[in-house]
Structure formats: structure tokens, C-alpha cells
Structure 1
């Protein structure tokens, strides 16, 4: 019995071209007498999804990488990790093409832990060989928790428009296929007319997005669309502006839909907490409560949010030798986020342990400044800095002087301590703000 049951005649995947039942999804054979590493270059296409399903059902370990990732970094990873099979690449030195995949010519002696299932790039990093090691149990436990709190059943038809190499996208596939539901596979953006044609024609029941997705939805007039079959909206992958949470919460309440705000990290496979849909408007600034079978707490010394649960990763891998390591965290994850909890047990993120700078002796929380300015001016804001300078990035010239005045008033900072820069805020492929680029180009 593999990870996914693939013998059903029910519809599993729908593309713009056709539907595939569970037993029709194209398979790839990964046969070996020893446990091996598979690398898949991901795009939202049926062949890639079939490779992912085949990889998990084979019992091997699979590393998921973005199809459009930096070529130099890809070469480094392939050279360092020497996978047995590569899916999604036409050629690479030391490999031959066989049955729609590359196969390593030379035998390599690698030790891979029996529990290791998936390797994902650490959230927000695009130039790193550091990966999160997730076990089969991590994936299954998180998928089952998601199935429970989202009430996913065989009638669900989820839009799968997020990258499979991104933990949020992977979790959509895992939770829906384990529940016997269907996914609508597309790489189209929510701003494309063809995306909404697929939503309407195939009667999609749920839509997932990161904060940037919801900003786009508001701009394209989502609230005026006629979408009677779409019943569930989920948001994760970063903090959504409270005003947008309330806007989508009100929309859901008024249109017989459910809107879930969720929090997670790749290190937790990835879901950690959620706000029940009927509490979103009351708890719009929070990350909610722990998922089923999970537990949240706060470190009394530094206010760090701690998560415990069966979905916590085994640990990190920074080289091929690390693939042999077992579970190093024992189900406890230090999130790196600071938080507070209210009387009802709802948690609110207050910042990142590492997202602080000191200016003229003042401890500055960059996340707090972002939240305050976003709320004040109803726009996207990104803050970065070091102990010499705070950089505030906005996308509209018209607000620069207003932002400067607000920072001076709210934080009592001298004008030489910060600058306001106008440009499009750089973002990572998963929609999160690219703080590394901001620091490299602005400070």
C-alpha cells in the first residue's frame, strides 16, 4: 500500500484539457532495491503531479524544486545530492534518458533514512541548499488535520494553482487526494480570464491563496463575481492585512461561504494553526488556534511561539549526508516568531525574533512598523534595515511624505535614521516579500 490510494474510478485531477480518475493518473516507475533520492522540477502539469504521486508511493525520498529555479543553483544541488532519478530535465551530465526521466549512470552509495519522504527548500530561500526533511508520517498527519478542520470530502474540487514545490501547494494535493477529492490543476494566475473559466466550468469548490493572491482578488473585482459553487477560501503563506481579512470575512459571511486564515511553516509540513471560519471577523488579527492534534505555547523567556505535533519535520538537510539523519526535533518546533495569546486561546504573531534592529539604542520591530503603516495607509509596505538605517518600501510616490511624518510621530525617529523608497516591492515565487533583495539593493 502506497501513500496515496490510486485504484479509484473517481475523478482525481482536472486540467483544462481533460479529467483523470485516480487510476488514470500517469505513473512513473521508480524501481530500486535500495532507497534512493528522486528530484522533481515542479510545474502544475499532470505529468509532474503523476511523478510526485509515483515518488511517494514508491517509498523513496523526493526533493521538490521549482521548474524555473536558478540554473547555477540547480546544477549545484544535482551535483551535490546525486539523485538516482530526475524528472523535468532534458539532460544532465552523468545521466541518461529512460521512460520520461533521467537516470543516473553510475551507482552511488547513499544512505537515506527509512522515514524520509520529502525535501523542500526552506521557506523564503531561493539561493540555498538547505532543505526541510519531512517524513511520511509528517505529511500524513498534517493532511489528516487539514482534512478534519476544512471538512474535505470526496465532493471537494480544489483549485491547485500554487506551486507543488511550495509547501502550501503540496499540502493541497496531499489533503485532497488522501480524502478522495479532486484537484483542478493549473499554472494560470488569478488575474487571467482562463483561470476563472476553469473555476466556473469545472465548478471549483475551494480556492487557496497567499496574501498577494488576495490583494489581486480585491483589485480584479472578485466580490462581484458570480461563483455559486465556490464555498471555501483559504489564506496562508504570510500575514494578510487585517482590513483584507475583514473584507473577505464579510464577503464570505454574506455569501454563504467559508474563509479560513491559516498559519504555517514548511518545517511543519506546513500547517500549524487556523482561525475557524465563523470566528474570522472576531479574531481577524490573530493566527487562530492549533490544528487538530497540534499544540501551541509561548516561551516565557523570549515570547517565541512553540508548536508541538506529529507534523513537525525531522530536521534540516544541508548536504547529502544529512539524508541519513533521523528525527532530531521530536515533534517540537521553535517557530522563530514572537506571539501573544488571549483569554480564548487565540494566538497573535507580534514579530520575528530576527526581524528587529536597533537605531540610536531603540529596539525596532520591523514587522510592527509594516503592520502599522499598512493599516494607516491601506497599501502594501515592506520594511528592512540594519542598526544604521531603516528602509521603508512603498509603491506609491504620493504617500512618501505622509509615511515619513507617521514614522517620525509614531516612533520618534530622527529623519537621518530611515528612508522611504518608492518601487514595486520584490516578491518571491510564493508571493512572500523578498527581504533579502530589499536589503541587498536598498541598504
Structure 2
């Protein structure tokens, strides 16, 4: 049985040029006697989405990469994982062109576990070639949970303007197609006037964003827009500061819309928790409760948040041999985040276990510094550092005095223990802070 059902005549995909019913989605042939890998360089186009759907339905393993991936990294990945097909590229050494895709010239027997559906990078467009291995069961169970708590049905029209190579974007595609809903494919930014023309013209019912998206929405006057069909806003991909959660929560409440704050990791396909929209304003700062079918607990010794569910990945892949491995985690994910839980079972992230530095014997949680300073100056902040110095990055010079004053007040730090740097905060394709690049620039 196919993963995605493409038999219906209901609307499935809307692009600028045309619309496609489920039974009109183009089928892309990936013919092979054995299970192979399809590498897709992702863009929000019908060709790429059709290739993704066809590859999943053909039971091949699909590796999703950002289209603007570093060339050297791409060459290393192809050399390491030897995909049979590459979609989204015009040419590549050792590959020949066949019907809008590249095919590996050399025949090679590669052992891929029958359950392996998707490989997603753990580090955006740069960094290591470490991938999360997701099974068909992982992505199906997570999509079903999302369908349940967001109440997605065939009347939904979701804007898909996040990258498919990012787990949040992938989950929008999976959940909506499995629910028989429609996707509005867009490559536009929320900053563009043309994006909002698409939203109005195609009567979008839901919009998804990372924290950076919501900062931009506030900046462009989203609250004053007339968007009668838009009923659901979802936020994931990192912590949104509490002031903005309150602003969008109140906006949703006053305009008969639903605003969901969610938490996840690629390793969980990706969703693990959400705040029911009617509780957003009473649970500011929280990541909410476990998704349907999932379970959250806190390790009593380390305070680490632990998730259990059918959506937990099979494990990681760093080399070709790893593709043959089965499930190594048995549905249990140690998130690497520290958390607390209140008496109603709502969880709050307090930091990352590895995002700590030790200054003069004082253990400092970099996420906590970011959170507290952002609350005070109401502007984006990023922190990095080592055991010699804390580095705080801001984007505007006028914030400098305010930040220094609060650093000393909140953390009793001597001026020699920190430095404040002014630069544009580097971001990954998914809108999250690129801490690797930040470290390289500042230390």
C-alpha cells in the first residue's frame, strides 16, 4: 500500500501557475529491483514535491537537503551515501541525466533497511554529514498526532513556505497530504507583498513559522491585515519570546483564530509537544503537553527532558553502512534539553545540557542569558562563549549600554568576563540561530 493516497479528486497542491488534485500529482519514476536512495535538493515547487511523494510511495529512502547546500559538503555526502538518483541538480560527476533527474552511472549494491523512509540533516546547510534516520512508522505516527491536535481536515489549505528539507516543513507536507488537505506552495518570504497576495488569492487557512517569522510578522503589521480565511497560526523551531507569544495569543483570541506554540526535534519526526490554543495565554513560556500518543518525563537527577513515542527516530546515519541499521532507540529520546513541569503537566524548557560555560567557577546557561536579556531589551540576542568569556551578540548599537547594565545586574559579572558584539545574527535556512557560525565569528 502507498504511503500517500493519490486517488482522490480533491484539491491537493496549489502553485502560482496551476492547481493539482490528488490524482493529478505528477508521478516520477524511480525504477529499481532493490531499495535505493533518492537525494532531493529541496525547493517548494511541484516538481520537487512530486519527486518526494513518488519516492516515498516507491518505498525508496529519501534524503532531503537544502538547495543552497555548500558544494563541498554536497560532494562529500554524495560520495559517502552513494544515492542512486539526485533530483534538483542539472549535473554531477559520476551521474548521467535521465528524465529531469540524475542517475548514478555505476551499479552498486547498497543495503538499506526496509523501514528507512527519510534522512534529514541535523545541521542545516552546513556542518557535519550526520543524518537522522526516520522510518515510515515514525513519520506516519507524528503526522497522525499533528492531524489530531490541529484538527486538520480536507478543508484546510496550508501555506508551505518552509523548506521541505527542514523537519517542520516536512511535517506540514506529511500531515496535510495524509489528511487529504491542500498545500499552497510558496518560495516567497513573509516580508514580500507578493506572499500576502498568494495567501489572500488562494484563501490560505493556516500559516507556520519559526521565531524569526513571528518577529518579522510583528514588524510588517500582520495584525492589521484583513485575512478572513486564515484561522490557524503555528510556531515551532525554537523558543519564541514570551512577549511575542502574548501578542500573537491575544491577536488570535480577539480575531477568532487559533495560535499554537509547539516544540520538537528532527529526531522526533519532529513534533513532541504543543500548547492547546486556548491555553497559550495562561501558559506563557511553556512548551505545553505531549502530543497525542507521546509521553514526556524529566530525569530526576539531570533534569533532562525525555520523550517516548512511536515518532522517535531509528537512530543516526554517518556512513553508508548505517543505512542498513534498524531501530536503535526503541521509541525513547533523550532530548538534551533541561526542563521543569508544573502541576498541570505543562513543561518548560530551562536550557540545553551542552549550552553551558563556566566563568570563574560559575556555571552559566547560555539559553537562560538569551531569554532574560531578550525579555529586557525586546530584541533578538544570541549568546556564545567559552570558559574564559561570555559573548553576547546584538544587532543594534543603541542596545549596548542596556545589555551591559543587565548582564552585570543579573549575573554579577565583571566587565572582563564578557564582551558584547554588534553584528547581524547568523541564521540557518530554518531561521534558527547558527551557533557554529556565531562561534567562528566571535571567538
TM-score, scaled relative to structure 2: 0.99
Q: Deviations over 1:139-197 (max 9, x none)?
A: 00000000000000000000000000000000000000000000000110001111100
Deviation for aligned residue 1:438 = 1.1
Classify 1:348/1:402 alpha carbon distance in 2 versus 1 (closer, same or farther; 3 Å).
Answer: same
CA distance in 2, matches of 1:252, 1:424: 30
Aligned to 2:95: 95
Whether the aligned pair in 1 keeps the contact of 2:69 and 2:125 (CA below 8 Å) is no
Name segments (4+ residues, structure 1) moved above 6 Å.
Answer: none
Q: Deviations over 1:234-275 (max 9, x none)?
A: 000000010000000000000000000000000000000000
CA distance in 2, matches of 1:3, 1:74: 28
CA distance in 1, matches of 2:31, 2:310: 29
Deviation for aligned residue 1:114 = 0.5
Matched, 1:112 2:112: yes
Q: Which runs of 5+ in 1 are unaligned?
A: none
CA distance in 2, matches of 1:123, 1:259: 28
Aligned to 2:5: 5
Deviation for aligned residue 1:123 = 4.5
Deviation for aligned residue 1:125 = 6.5
Most deviating of 394-403 and 286-295: 394-403
Secondary structure at the counterpart of residue 306 of structure 1: strand
Deviation for aligned residue 1:124 = 4.8
Q: Deviations over 1:340-391 (max 9, x none)?
A: 0000000000000000000001000111110100001111110101000100
CA distance in 1, matches of 2:352, 2:56: 34
Q: Which runs of 5+ in 2 are unaligned?
A: none
Aligned to 1:68: 68
CA distance in 1, matches of 2:411, 2:361: 12
Aligned to 1:358: 358
Matched, 1:435 2:423: no
- Taking only aligned residues, the RMSD between alpha carbons, in angstroms, comes to 0.7
TM-score, scaled relative to structure 1: 0.99
Secondary structure at the counterpart of residue 363 of structure 2: strand
Deviation for aligned residue 1:396 = 1.2
Deviation for aligned residue 1:79 = 1.2
Deviation for aligned residue 1:17 = 1.0
Aligned to 1:86: 86
Q: Aligned pairs, how many?
A: 443
Classify 1:306/1:125 alpha carbon distance in 2 versus 1 (closer, same or farther; 3 Å).
Answer: farther
Whether the aligned pair in 1 keeps the contact of 2:66 and 2:125 (CA below 8 Å) is no
CA distance in 2, matches of 1:17, 1:248: 32
Secondary structure at the counterpart of residue 281 of structure 1: helix
Matched, 1:127 2:104: no
Aligned to 1:194: 194
Deviation for aligned residue 1:336 = 0.2
Aligned to 2:206: 206
Secondary structure at the counterpart of residue 243 of structure 2: helix
Whether the aligned pair in 2 keeps the contact of 1:123 and 1:266 (CA below 8 Å) is no
CA distance in 1, matches of 2:161, 2:63: 20
Q: Deviations over 1:203-244 (max 9, x none)?
A: 000000000000000000000000000000000000001000
Aligned to 1:327: 327
Secondary structure at the counterpart of residue 143 of structure 2: helix
Aligned to 2:175: 175
CA distance in 2, matches of 1:50, 1:369: 44
Aligned to 1:309: 309
Aligned to 1:271: 271
CA distance in 1, matches of 2:360, 2:342: 33
CA distance in 2, matches of 1:297, 1:180: 33
Most deviating of 1-10 and 231-240: 1-10
